[in-house]
Structure 1
Amino acid sequence: MSEQQQKRVSAAGNGEHANGGKRQRALAHDGGVKQERLAEEQGREEASQGGEGERALVAMEEQEEAQISLRMSVSHLHCVACLLPLKPPTSKCEAGHVVCSGCRGRHTTQVCVGAANYSTCAELDLILRDAKVPCAYGEYGCTSWVVYYEAADHHRCCRCAPCFCPDPGCEVLTSPAELAEHFASHHGWPITKFDYGRPCKLAVPGLQDKLVLVGEGDGSVFLVSSQCALGVATAVSLVCVRACGDAAAGAPQFRCKLWVEVEGNRENLALVTSMVASSNMSRGFVPAEQGMFLVVPPELLHDESGEAPVLKIRVDRIDRANGGASTARSPSATPPSSLPKRLL
Structure 2
Amino acid sequence: MAGGSNSQSSGERSDSSSTSVSRKRQASSVSPTGISKKRSTMQMDLDILGCPICLGKLTIPIFQCENGHLACSSCCPKLMNKCPSCALPIGHIRCRAMESVLSSISIPCPNTKFGCTEYVFYGLESTHEKECLFSPCPCPALGCDYTGSYRDVGYHYYTYVDTCLTPLHPYELFTYDKSSSVRMNISDKVKILVDKINNTLFAVQCFREPYGVCVTVSCIAPSSPEMQTCSYHLSYTVDGHTMTYKSPGMKNVVEVSFQTPLENFLFIPHSSLLGDLLEMKLYIGFH
Runs of 4+ in 1 over 6 A off after TM superposition: 249-255
Partner in structure 1 of residue 56 of structure 2: 84
Give the % identical residues. Answer: 20
Distance 1:80 1:165 in 2: 40
Deviations 1:228-285 (A, max 9, x none): 958xx986431232467xxxx98999784432278xxxx742212457555443xxx5
Change (3 A) 1:191 1:179: farther
Distance 1:85 1:226 in 2: 39
Change (3 A) 1:164 1:157: same
Q: Which has the higher contact order (CA 8 A, sep 6+)?
A: 2
Q: In structure 2, what residue type is equivalent to 1:258?
A: H
1:182-331 → structure 2 map (5 Å cutoff): 182-187=156-161, 189=171, 194=176, 200-207=178-185, 210-212=192-194, 221-225=200-204, 227=206, 229=208, 236-242=215-221, 256-260=231-235, 268-273=241-246, 276-277=250-251, 279-281=253-255, 286-287=257-258, 289=260, 293-294=265-266, 310-314=281-285, 316=287
Shift of 1:140: 0.9
TM-score by length of 1: 0.52
Does 1:132 pair with 2:106?
Answer: yes
SS of the equivalent of 2:156 reads: helix
Partner in structure 1 of residue 14 of structure 2: none
Q: In structure 2, what residue type is equivalent to 1:269?
A: T
Does 1:106 pair with 2:78?
Answer: yes
Partner in structure 2 of residue 71 of structure 1: 43
Identify unmatched segments of 5+ residues in structure 1.
Answer: 1-57, 303-307, 317-344
More helix by share: 1
Q: In structure 2, what residue type is equivalent to 1:260?
A: S
1:158-177 → structure 2 map (5 Å cutoff): 158-177=132-151
Q: Which has the larger radius of gyration?
A: 1
Change (3 A) 1:117 1:101: closer
Please identify, of 143-152 and 116-125, the stretch whose mean Cα deviation from structure 2 is larger: 116-125
Q: Please say if residues 253 and 276 of structure 1, whose CA atoms lie closer than 8 Å, have aligned partners that are also in contact.
A: no
Q: How many residues align?
A: 234
Distance 1:63 1:162 in 2: 40
Shift of 1:169: 2.0
Deviations 1:18-69 (A, max 9, x none): xxxxxxxxxxxxxxxxxxxxxxxxxxxxxxxxxxxxxxxx99x757532222
Change (3 A) 1:192 1:86: farther
Shift of 1:131: 0.2
Q: Please say if residues 222 and 238 of structure 1, whose CA atoms lie closer than 8 Å, have aligned partners that are also in contact.
A: no
Distance 1:310 1:81 in 2: 57
Q: Please say if residues 141 and 157 of structure 2, whose CA atoms lie closer than 8 Å, have aligned partners that are also in contact.
A: no
Q: Please say if residues 62 and 72 of structure 2, whose CA atoms lie closer than 8 Å, have aligned partners that are also in contact.
A: yes
TM-score by length of 2: 0.61
